[in-house]
Amino acid sequence: MSKLRWHMIRDETALTLARQLPARFDVAATASFPPLRRGRLAHLIRQDLWRALQSLRGFSPVVQVTTTPDGLTVTAGGRVSGPVTQATQAQITALLADPHLRARWISNARKTEPAS
C-alpha cells in the first residue's frame, strides 16, 4: 500500500496544504491567529478537521494559512464530493473557534526563539 502524501504549496504570503491538487474549497471557514509556524499550524488544523469531518462522504481537507500584518489568517475546509450543508460550515467555524484546540495549536506551532 502506498503512502498518501500531502501537497504543500508555499509562496511569500500563503501556504496551502491539500491531499488533491488543485486545492478546492467547497466548504470553508476562516479564523485569525498570531504569528506562528505556518506549516505546523496547517498540519495541526488539518488533523483535527479530518477527525471532525471524516464521516462526511467524499471529504478531503484543505487548509490555507496566509500571512497578514497582524499575524495569520487560516481558511480551513476542503473538497466534498456530495452536497454541503450549512451545518458543515458551522462545524468548521466552531472547530476553528474552539478555545482548547486553539490553545493546543498555538502552543505546538509557536515560533522558537533562537538560542543565545
Q: What are phi and psi of 47, to 5 degrees?
A: -60, -50
Q: Which of 76, 75, 81, 74 is nearest to 56 (CA)?
A: 81
Helix or strand (DSSP H, E) at 34: none
Nearest alpha carbon to residue 68 among 30, 106, 27, 113: 30
> What are the average pLDDT values for consecutive 10-residue runs of the chain, which has 116 residues?
76 93 94 96 97 93 97 96 90 98 97 62
- Residues pairing with 65 in the sheet: 15, 74
Contact 45, 76 (CB under 8 A): yes
Q: pTM of this prediction? A: 0.90
Cell numbers at residue 54, please? 471524516
